[in-house]
Amino acid sequence: MEILHYTEDHEKFRRNLRDFLAQEVVPHVDQWEKDHIVPKSVWRKMGEAGFLCTAQPVEYGGHGLDFLYSVIVCEECSHTGFTGLTASLHSDIVVPYIESFGTEEQKKKYIPKCASGECISAVAMTEPDVGSDLASMTTIADDEGESFVINGTKTFISNGINCGLCVVAAKDPQATNPYQAISMFLVEDGTPGFGRGKHLEKMGWHSQDTAELFFSKCRIPKENLLGQKGGGFIILMQKLQQERLVCAIGAVCAAEKVVEKITEYCKNTKDRNGKPMSKNQATQFALVEMATEAKIGRVFIDKLIADHMEKKNVVVEVSMAKFWTTDLAKRTCDRALDIVGEPGYLEAFGLARGFRDVRVMPIFAGTNEIMKRIAAGFMGL
């Protein structure tokens, strides 16, 4: 019995997206990797084609579709082997903050532009020397009557260069409880005092525009407060289940992609004895083990997707899935390189980029050590 039930409409959407990626994305990947950025025009094309903000309500410019459409976007983008176009981050992690906690005015102002691809979104939580501990952030937002004034620095911000709207976490310097001090703010591109550094040079994800963001006396109107003042920590916690689920979906897809690629390579490449590599017993065992783990990950993720769509609280299970699937993607790439040998070390083969790209997965969206601590807490350990 299948865990997830895709309709013909889902499958048509998948085919259309796959064709779009094949035409508008895949042929340009190498150039974008060299340029270290994805052009904004691609985001607009993706929005025009209906592949952004699929789950957002129609009245706010979204498409009002179920979460399986978000899953399809995540899967198909991941299966291209390209990490630069972070559509799932935009549509299923950042924009839901606005949908769930924004005022009617905020929703009507921002979500339509996000759905069309006119406005690319980012979320700014991470800071230098702070890491996963949100309570230790140092970016502050002073309440000055009709406005808030933000001062501080954020780093490792995905979509940091391209973003037209940034959801920023900052704390009230007067608050005594660190978990009630954090608030969320909507900061638009061009706001005086909002600046960004150069694209950060990274080990992988070269075309994903990761940047430092700077806030120096950045004054925003009171209506740009997202949710309640002091409610930022709760806002972030409520959305982490979907964020980490999306991360885990991408990790499983990465592992599946590598298994598919390495299996095909071994079938079509002969060893020194003139036989396909896949006829070697040691290679067979390695491929079977890799394929088995990928299938285990797929079943686990599909069950969590179903539970998430039923509004179940699966925070613990998603935390487990995030650390296990991202570790799976990492070791699958590593083992594939061992099997292929020197050809896999060449950029043209594609495994090298995949190896670099998956390495950060156990780190972002909360480190895997944090995931284990969350699970341990709920297990009473």
Give the Cα separation of 209 and 211 in Å (integer): 6
Run of H or E residues at 200 = none
**CA 120: distance to chain centroid?**
14
Query: What angle do helix axes 67-79 and 8-24 make, rounded to 10 degrees?
Result: 30
Torsion of Cα atoms, 122 then 68 then 118 then 363, to 10°: 20
33 is catalytic: no
Give the Cα separation of 376 and 110 in Å (integer): 38
DSSP class of residue 276?
A: B
Integer Rg of the chain from CA: 21
**CA 333: distance to chain centroid?**
19
Copy the structure tokens of residue 115.
């759905």
78, 250 contact by CB (below 8 A)? yes
Q: Smallest Cα–Cα separation from 75: which of 213, 245, 286?
A: 245
Beta bridge partners of 167: 123, 186
Q: What is the 3-state secondary structure (H, E, C) of 216-242?
A: EEEEEEHHHEECCCCCHHHHHHHHHHH
The beta-carbon contacts of 283-288 under 8 Å, at least 24 apart in sequence, are 283/339, 286/335, 286/339, 287/259, 287/262, 287/263, 287/339
246, 74 contact by CB (below 8 A)? yes
Give the Cα separation of 259 and 332 in Å (integer): 8
CB atoms within 10 A of CB 362: 21
Handedness of CA 337, 340, 345, 349 (dihedral sign): negative
In the chain the domains, ranked by start, together with CATH numbers, are: 8-119 (1.10.540.10), 123-230 (2.40.110.10), 234-378 (1.20.140.10)
Burial of 305 (0-12, 13-18, 19+ CB in 10 A): buried
Burial of 264 (0-12, 13-18, 19+ CB in 10 A): exposed
Across the 381 residues of the chain, what is the mean pLDDT of every consecutive 10-residue run?
Answer: 91 98 96 94 96 96 96 95 92 96 96 97 89 79 93 94 96 87 96 92 93 96 95 87 95 96 95 91 97 97 97 94 97 95 89 93 91 91 87
pLDDT for 319 equals 95
Give the Cα separation of 291 and 280 in Å (integer): 16
320, 371 contact by CB (below 8 A)? yes
pLDDT for 1 equals 64
80, 21 contact by CB (below 8 A)? yes
Give the Cα separation of 123 and 91 in Å (integer): 12
Half-sphere exposure of 154 toward its Cβ, with a 13 Å CA cutoff?
Answer: 28
Give the Cα separation of 36 and 34 in Å (integer): 5
pLDDT for 128 equals 87
Copy the structure tokens of residue 166.
């940034």
Burial of 298 (0-12, 13-18, 19+ CB in 10 A): middle
pTM over 0.85: yes
- Identity of residue 354: G
Identify the active-site residue in 243, 256, 293, 317. Answer: 243
- Chain position carrying tokens 């006829």: 279
